[in-house]
Amino acid sequence: MNTSTAPVGINRQNISAGSLPEILQNPFTVAQQQLDEAAAYMKLPASAHEMLRWPLRELHIMIPVRMDDGNTKIFQGFRVQYNDARGPCKGGIRYHPAETIDTVRALAAWMTWKTALVDLPLGGGKGGVVCDPKNLSQGELERLSRAYIRQAGSFLGPEKDVPAPDLYTSAQVMAWMADEYSFMQGNNEFGVITGKPLALGGSAGRNDATARGGIFCIREAAAVLGIGLERATAAIQGYGNAGSHAHRLAEELLGMKVVAVSDSTGCIYNPDGLFHRDVAAHKKKTGSVTGFPCAVPITNENLISLDVAVLIPAALEGVIHKENAHSVRALMIAELANGPLTPEADSILREKGCYVIPDLLCNAGGVTVSYFEMVQNAYGYYWDEDEVHLKLEKKMITAFRNVHEASLHHKVHNRRAAYIVAIERVAEAMKLRGWV
């Protein structure tokens, strides 16, 4: 086990960021670039700027797991606590075969700005394990999850750092982790994890919170732009938890027509619309959106270039880049994924007049309801789903309006406005605490 605060190179065969094609740009370089641009505009003091460019602390761990065949496999894991000036760190744990420390750093940085933007008393963190969960049995997945907590547990706690589900982790994974942490402490500590099942102190409304928060933002943005959403078209790139729920809620809450969706296996398109209940049932049965009988297959590039009112990237970072941004025809992009636009794509889309709801704002519904779960765990009283939805809506509307007002006041685009609001709050906390 190794703790480190010193920055190291990108963990993609240790290739330098400068030698990567723009499409595969180091996400932490992107996160730092976004911060640098906002800090320069704000004339942020040099000490505060430098402190915000790097994680406060990192944990690198090796995780031995006994596999079903009796052999022991060693997995690499990380936990990054980026900044806790405003409160305990908060952020998910990801399982992915291409996970890197720089991806985790970037996501922890974005979580720092996200919690500040929505005005939660939290900092930013993120964790990850380099593994392919699709090739693990249920028993192997449980042993890996418990082993991660055994290695990282001293780093975590309700007053230190509270993980949550993320890419390829689930409520069940969170339940195993909370149980392992509780065993280590000698008493129940369900508050160490959010995104848990309801029976173990989870919050009503958590499952679709990321998508619901994004839908609220789309509604507010449409009002600003004067776009009618009833029967307006949308395309969703990524059909995991966030993307699937975004499909359902776009239909239910906004009356939109989703004409294309994709997952890791392919994309499908129907100009007359795809009904969520049918696509979700097909994916549940087959494990994929491909082969859906009421649609035709298209490529991911086709999906990104569709003439729709709203394009919702809801998968991985960097999917819209300088090679395909010119083909985007959507009026609005709602970033349910973290970092789906590279900086070059951002510039291209601004020139095209595409309205972007930045990830810091658009996908903040998940961490907001995770915070609600922390509050409910702390005082042992739980809200019903309607109350959670109302509190989430209020938070998201306030955050959207703060960004919109900052954009108008500073005459800057939405992403920079979101950074300005968030950085001001984190920098103020660091100054008040005497850090800078």
Give the residue numbers annotated as catalytic, written as ranges. 126
* CB of 108 closer than 8 Å to CB of 124: yes
Tokens of 94: 């990801």
| Residue pointed to by tokens 């959207």 | 400
- Pairing mode of beta strands 123-130, 89-96: parallel
Tokens of 156: 């975590």
List the Cα angle 413/417/420 in 5-degree steps.
Answer: 145
Q: For residue 13, which phi and psi values (nearest 5 degrees)?
A: 55, 25
E strand or H helix that includes residue 407: helix 385-410
Tokens of 50: 């430098």
Q: For residue 323, which phi and psi values (nearest 5 degrees)?
A: -80, -25
In DSSP notation, 57-103 reads: EEEEEEEEEE-TTS-EEEEEEEEEEEE-TTSSEEEEEEEETT--HHH
| CA–CA distance, 99 with 128 (Å, rounded to integer) | 7
